[in-house]
Structure 1
Amino acid sequence: GGYSFDLEDLLRASAEVLGKGSAGTSYKAVLEEGTTVVVKRLKEVAVARREFEAHMEVVGGVEHRNLLPVRAYYFSKDEKLLVYDYLPAGSLSAMLHAGSRGSGRTPMDWDARMRSALSASRGLAHLHSEHKLAHGNVKSSNVLLRPDYDAAALSDFSLHPIYAPSSVRAGSGGYRAPEVVDTRRPTLKADVYSLGVLLLELLTGKSPTHASLQEGDSGTLDLPRWVQSVVREEWTAEVFDVELVRLGASAEEEMVALLQVAMACVATVPDARPDAPDVVRMIEEIGAGHGQTTTEESARATTSEEERSRGTPPAAPTP
């Protein structure tokens, strides 16, 4: 949708690898007429063409400013491809962790982190409440940034149904909810757990998949357990990213409040976790009065041509 090229144009395009994940390899492809897209080359697809196409029609019908939609797909015996818009600002993961932290890069300030948290939460809430779809792979490298942090978009959503259950990772590494390690079935509550880890990542500056989270001689902890161990010792301030502290973040109350939301999301028992729309509401309440836009204001502010054509205003906020 929205593009005027065919497979031959795509095959002639110059391409560079953007990343390799469990679902396949992503390429940045520049077509001869200058259009730039992202092509994801899928591996281990376990469904037949008809099932694949039916699922892509469902996923391709999802429109929201905080979700990156599938624009086109291709299915043959040897190749399964998905085409997405290319967002040049890169991922939240790269923004938080790229290179050696502190050397020449601009750290993300508190406002940018809060707005990224809201964007990811709003995208997930729309996916859950309007389409009843699990994302299945919420992580910071799947949060793609736009110049406006309120318009950051969750990518790679709801691809798990096209894979065999045995090959579904149900989330990546440190983002994976405890209950899906065995079942390998992504659920809405498992998504909320992954979102909670993402919020902890924004607060701590630590990557959950490469975390050097040590506790004495007991080895490596996952990010939620590391945060719990620090908070239990009443060293709450020690949890927060030193870059935020260095930037003089005067929002410690907001940081503690977001930490409480994150810890609710990573509750061990799935039913103890809030639903994604509740997470949006809680984050909006934290940011109210500090330059954060509410869902309603955000919907009103959606005026650019791209957002008018693709955005779906979220539901009105809960009174």
Structure 2
Amino acid sequence: MSQETGSTGKRPTLRAQLRDGWLLSAGCFDAWSAKLAEHVGFSSLHFSGGAFHTSQFAYAGMVYTMPEVASQVGRITAAVDIPILADLDTGFGGVEDILRATRELERAGAGGIHIEDVPFPITRNGAQGPAVIPKSEAVGRVKAALAARTDPDFLVVGRTDSTVSVDDLIERSNLFLEAGADVAFPLVRAVEVDGRRLAELPPPERLEWYRRIVREIDGPVVTVGGVDRTFSASELRDVGFTWVIVPLVAFNAATAAMTLALREALEDGRASRYFTDHPNPLTPSQYMKLVGYDRVAEHEREFGGAETADDEGES
């Protein structure tokens, strides 16, 4: 349970939510984006490593570390009462690093992690390196994460970024599930089909390929939605995906909004046109409630030791 929210009851688990049915998770990169997702009605979250990386460093050459991720996830889980799937990237190194990273993310309050099969360190300079690591090494990463978890409700999701072929994507996903992964996460948009990326095919053809991928993977499958805004969440659900995450919707929206407002503020110091066209959906009272001003006041009354005027008059 989040200590900061003042809520009662145990935080729901991703495992229970998946067991109850289909799941849609909002991407977040800090406590405020997570809080807003919870406020509008999302029941689960996804911590985006890419959005976190850019928001913290704004430089592709900077490598973030596991303690930084664990610390940020801890701040998020303290702010909300809904579960979060955290991006563990490659596990931040070798086997021992994966073991430690999984434990730290579980300790930080994450409801699960996904770990991927690209080489470590992840290349962020656009250079074309090996697409994915060997299957045996990729499966070993999943097994290490599984061995490290202590909470049986903590999900381990095996992600493959294979672009070789649909067959390779399916095989790797099934190997992760056979190793014990709770969910498979094939990065379907980037895979090659007849010399073209699947994302470049006409939408009806892409949906047919998605159906085949989901049908031939022997377990729950999560996918990324909202990236190119081609398919709705319900369309992805209808082709068979168990879980859809929208990792960059909040980040991209925030980037667009800040750019437009700041550009106008540079012109006149007010950005009044922007805020006229995009009024804040939160009232001042809603904002104050979301950030906990009421709890701060209650804590001051209970623990602050400040005397009221009546108290002083009685002494």
Taking structure 1 as the reference length, the TM-score comes to 0.28
After TM superposition, the score normalised by the length of structure 2 is 0.28
Q: Who wins on radius of gyration, i.e. which is larger?
A: 2
